[in-house]
Structure 1
Amino acid sequence: MTEKELDKLVWLVGNGHNTYKELHQNFPYLSIQDFRFMSLSCIGGLEKYIGLEADKGRFQFLESLHYQFSDDDIFYLTEDSQNRFDKLLKEHQSELREKIILIFSLVSAIASIIALFKP
């Protein structure tokens, strides 16, 4: 998974689009094994991305490599991914502020031009 894809995954889960169905729709090329690996990595303490909600039975999930995800299975961000989400959120807010400043600058420039031609 590329950094960009990982950011997208973290952004989706962090913003509440965290069901298996939603994630699978956004990442149709990821297989069930990919989702299993990400979830097992979280529980096993390897690279941590997302985890499977506890109420779906982690023990059943861990004991059965044949676990089939259902559309309503819910994933959560691990601590590492939550930190990544916080960083993405700050970047998003910064970009939004920059766009607002640009819009105000354009409005100001247009108002200045109009003022030049006003008698």
Structure 2
Amino acid sequence: MHEAPSSEELLGSVIGFLNHVAAPQLSGQAAFHARVAANALALVEREIVQRPAADARAQALYADLLQDQTSPLEALTKQVCAHIRSGELSCDNPTLLAALREITSAQLAIDQPNYSGLMP
């Protein structure tokens, strides 16, 4: 059995090193770049951890909205966009709005987890 650290654990270690060891010892542009690197790695970590569930949920929401249980997420997303553009789906549709809110919130949780709009 292979018991190496997981990708998430490795990323967490590098992020911790950058934030708590390297960046405090740096100044100016080097410190800034260390923080940027740590933030980029944290985004990658959230993608690895959260993306599969977020995509599965988006696919389920769009599939229910379009009554299409067979298409992949990319195709469903394009269909939803086309229906919105054509006026077949509008802001008056509470199911559409609920789906878009949930999908957007999941994306923000990955991209900008401290975004104030996510706070209850």
Q: TM-score, normalised by structure 1?
A: 0.27
Greater C-alpha radius of gyration: 1
Structure having the larger proportion of residues in helix: 2
Structure 1 or 2: more strand by fraction: 1
Bigger relative contact order, structure 1 or 2, given CA contacts below 8 A and separation 6+? 1
TM-score by length of 2: 0.27
